[in-house]
Amino acid sequence: MTTRERLNDAAAGRILILDGAMGSLIQAWRSPEGQPLGEDDFRGSRFSGHKTPLLGCNDLLCLSRPDVISGIHEAYLEAGADIIETCSFNSTAVSLAGFGIGDLAYEVSAAAAGLARKAADRYSSAEKPRFVAGSMGPTAKSASITSDMDRPGSRAVTWDELEAAYYDNARGLIEGGADLLAVETVFDSLNAKAALFAINRLAVERGADIPVMVSATISESGRLLTGQRIESFCEAVIHAKPWAVGLNCSFGAEAIRPFAAELVACAPVLTVVYPNAGLPDRQGVYSETPEIMAGHIEACLKEGFLNIVGGCCGSTPAHIAAIAARAKDCRPRKPPVVSRAGAAAAGIPGADRAFQESVDAGNYEDAVETARDLAAQGVKGLSLKPGKAPDPAAFVRDFIFLGNCFPAVVELPLYIESSGWAVLETALKCLQTRSFVRYSGAPEESAEYREKARLIRAYGGEPVSASSWSL
């Protein structure tokens, strides 16, 4: 039985319990003498001479204080967690670079997975198997949001940098023993797509199926920080065939309930929700007790919204135990059977003259303004043919990046056609949302075209044939 089959088997008859916060317990940890973790704990002997302060680099504790991390895993397993997440939320070169240890991303990821694996194996049984989810956080940098408002095309991190960092992160987690990967706290779906591309690259190299959970964090408006609604987020990541999609962090369980309903309405796979234990006060104490949080989550459970449930910031083993007690008598959601075949052919938008004139002139600012007008008029997508632009690749990059500043444009599916692979790849590395792609640079029966179609899917696009495009 494959890992995905084992996961599906476990989720078929009951709601699975995910663990709770890692950072909260690290902050709350005390030695027998009552001392919290300090700089020396994070350094250990190996990093005693490191020039950069390491206090707060929680993932590094997998190397310097593995006993602390193992103890936290065991506490959640004792509380009834079916799935525990690794202490690797920031274990990418992008995130660890701030501590001067970016080159240790793979090692920290592998160590984190190894600790969780040992703990899960100790508690696993035939009746209640325990699983390890490799945590892959969003980093503090966005591939979609400009880092300089005077230069809309500027970014603090590129797709290629993110994808390379996530690849090492994923490789370490899988080689360390993770059963599945959790691309979580997604505030920018482009970052998530880079992570999913990296996971796919690893899976293709290994000839393996790597189950993935993808979970977004949202604002009170129900949108990601980059402006996407929940439905658009789902459409952006579903190409990766995730085992589950969901929401985490954000706020408390009561406030997240209506957004969980939105998620269920558009998710063709299992759903996972793990909110905060309310919101923190000025002292950083989260407001919801275990019983209060479990009571709020129970409402979602009884409505049949969920397959996997747990806690995020502020939650503890006591919260997870209370949630597990409420979940044991609730039935899991059954995802609908949805076919995406022919989706692109269902309605490729016609070209708008004013929009195409701006494209042909290479004027991305006018093109974005026209796109905003079209969105206000209710168009369902944009048809983009950049072949006549002075520099097609630069145009699609600048157009998409400027368009990312406007939620109405971000959510418009893009139908893009080009004979230049560099143009299409540039677009796919910039697009947050779903896209339909016609590559006309090779015969559709050729090996080159088949490989390009595979890559288009891996980037999150949907390849469209010439016959469909002409409809």
Judge if 103 and 220 occupy the same domain: yes
Last residue of a domain, one of 302, 327, 352: 327
- pLDDT at position 65 is 98
Report the pLDDT averaged over residues 246-250: 95
Supply the CATH number for residue 367's domain: 3.20.20.20
174-193 pLDDT per residue, tens: 999 999 999 999 999 999 99
Q: Does residue 334 belong to any structural domain of this protein? A: no
Q: Does residue 332 belong to any structural domain of this protein? A: no
| CB contact at 8 A, 183 and 215 | yes
Q: Does residue 337 belong to any structural domain of this protein? A: no
Lowest-confidence region among 215-219, 293-297, 346-350, 383-387 = 346-350
Say how many domains are in the chain: 2
The one-letter amino acid at 37: L
Which ranges constitute the DSSP H helices of 177-247? Answer: 189-206, 230-237
CA–chain centroid gap for 293, Å, is 24
Q: Does residue 75 belong to any structural domain of this protein? A: yes
Q: What is the pTM of this model?
A: 0.95
Q: Does residue 338 belong to any structural domain of this protein? A: no
Backbone angles phi, psi at 179, to 5 degrees: -85, -35
| CB contact at 8 A, 213 and 245 | yes
Q: What is the DSSP string of 53-87?
A: --TT-GGGHHHH-HHHHHHHHHHHHHTT-SEEE-S
Percent share of the chain, pLDDT over 90: 86
Judge if 225 and 348 occupy the same domain: no
Place of tokens 């135990």: 321
Judge if 21 and 132 occupy the same domain: yes
Name the pLDDT band for 344 (thresholds 50, 70, 90): very low
Place of tokens 């595979």: 454
Report the pLDDT averaged over residues 115-132: 97
* 470 pLDDT above the threshold of 70: no
Judge if 244 and 381 occupy the same domain: no
Beta partners for 384? 416
Pairing of strands 270-276, 461-463: unpaired
Judge if 205 and 253 occupy the same domain: yes
Name the pLDDT band for 346 (thresholds 50, 70, 90): very low
Contacting residues for 437 by C-beta, under 8 A, at least 6 apart: 416, 417, 424, 427, 428, 456, 461, 462, 463, 464
Report the pLDDT averaged over residues 159-169: 98
* Domain interval for residue 400: 344-469
Name the residue with higher pLDDT: 328 or 349. 328
Judge if 308 and 414 occupy the same domain: no
Angle at 247 between CA 188 and CA 107, to 5 degrees: 65
| CB contact at 8 A, 402 and 430 | no
Residue 186: is it exposed, middle or buried by C-beta count within 10 angstroms (0-12/13-18/19+)? buried
Q: Does residue 81 belong to any structural domain of this protein? A: yes
Judge if 302 and 359 occupy the same domain: no
Tally helices (H) and strands (E) across the chain. 20, 12
User: What sign does the CA torsion over 318, 323, 329, 331 have?
Assistant: negative
User: End-to-end alpha-carbon separation of the chain, Å?
Assistant: 43
The rounded distance, in Å, linking the Cα atoms of 12 and 7 is: 9
The rounded distance, in Å, linking the Cα atoms of 385 and 415 is: 8
Last residue of a domain, one of 278, 302, 327: 327
395-434 pLDDT per residue, tens: 999 999 999 889 889 888 999 999 999 999 999 999 998 8
Lowest-confidence region among 151-160, 215-224, 237-246, 356-365 = 151-160
Judge if 320 and 349 occupy the same domain: no
- pLDDT at position 386 is 96
The rounded distance, in Å, linking the Cα atoms of 286 and 345 is: 49
Token pair, residue 57, equals 């680099």
Contacting residues for 122 by C-beta, under 8 A, at least 6 apart: 74, 77
Supply the CATH number for residue 102's domain: 3.20.20.330
The candidate with the shortest Cα–Cα distance to 59, out of 4, 11, 116, 2, is 116
The candidate with the shortest Cα–Cα distance to 385, out of 369, 372, 373, 367, is 367
Pairing of strands 180-186, 131-136: parallel
- pLDDT at position 465 is 87
Judge if 188 and 73 occupy the same domain: yes
Last residue of a domain, one of 327, 353, 377: 327
Judge if 447 and 307 occupy the same domain: no
List, as own/partner pairs, every contact residues 277-286 make where C-beta atoms lie below 8 angstroms and the sequence separation is at least 24, other chains included. 277/21, 277/252, 277/311, 277/312, 277/313, 277/314, 277/315, 277/316, 277/319, 278/251, 278/252, 278/314, 279/251, 279/252, 280/313, 280/314, 285/314, 286/24, 286/313, 286/314, 286/315
Judge if 440 and 350 occupy the same domain: yes
* 269 pLDDT above the threshold of 50: yes
Contacting residues for 321 by C-beta, under 8 A, at least 6 apart: 79, 80, 290
Q: Does residue 191 belong to any structural domain of this protein? A: yes
The rounded distance, in Å, linking the Cα atoms of 323 and 272 is: 14
Q: Does residue 339 belong to any structural domain of this protein? A: no
Place of tokens 């040992």: 118
Lowest-confidence region among 23-32, 402-411, 431-440 = 402-411
Rg of the chain over all Cα atoms, to the nearest angstrom: 23
Name the pLDDT band for 149 (thresholds 50, 70, 90): low
Judge if 187 and 236 occupy the same domain: yes
